Amino acid sequence: HRLCILRTCYDKRLWPRMDLSRRKSLTPPMLSGVVRRQPRALDLSWTGVSKKQLMWLLNRLQGLQELVLSGCSWLSVSALGSAPLPALRLLDLRWIEDVKDSQLRELLLPPPDTKPGQTESRGRLQGVAELRLAGLELTDASLRLLLRHAPQLSALDLSHCAHVGDPSVHLLTAPTSPLRETLVHLNLAGCHRLTDHCLPLFRRCPRLRRLDLRSCRQLSPEACARLAAAGPPGPFRCPEEKLLLKDS
| pLDDT tens profile 160-202 | 999 999 999 999 999 999 999 999 999 999 999 999 999 999 9
Name the region of 123 (left: φ>0; alpha: ψ -120 to 50; beta: rest).
left
CA nearest neighbour of 210 among 169, 171, 245, 175:
245
Q: What is the mean pLDDT of residues 59-84?
A: 95
Q: Which domains does the chain have, with CATH numbers?
A: 1-63+74-81 (no CATH), 99-111+122-247 (3.80.10.10)
Model pTM score? 0.91
Q: What local confidence, expressed as pLDDT, does residue 84 receive?
A: 84
CA nearest neighbour of 188 among 119, 238, 244:
244
**pLDDT tens-digit readout, 124-133:** 899 999 999 9
* Cα–Cα distance measured from residue 151 to residue 98, given in angstroms and rounded to the nearest whole number: 25
Mean pLDDT of the chain: 90
Half-sphere exposure of residue 140: CA atoms within 13 angstroms, side-chain side: 10
Q: What is the mean pLDDT of residues 80-108?
A: 93
Contact predicate 182/158, CB 8 Å = no
Put the strands of the sheet holding 210-212 in their side by side order.
17-19, 41-43, 66-68, 90-92, 130-132, 155-157, 185-187, 210-212, 243-245, 237-240
Q: What local confidence, expressed as pLDDT, does residue 110 receive?
A: 83
Q: What local confidence, expressed as pLDDT, does residue 118 receive?
A: 53
**pLDDT tens-digit readout, 98-135:** 899 999 999 998 876 655 555 445 578 999 999 999 99
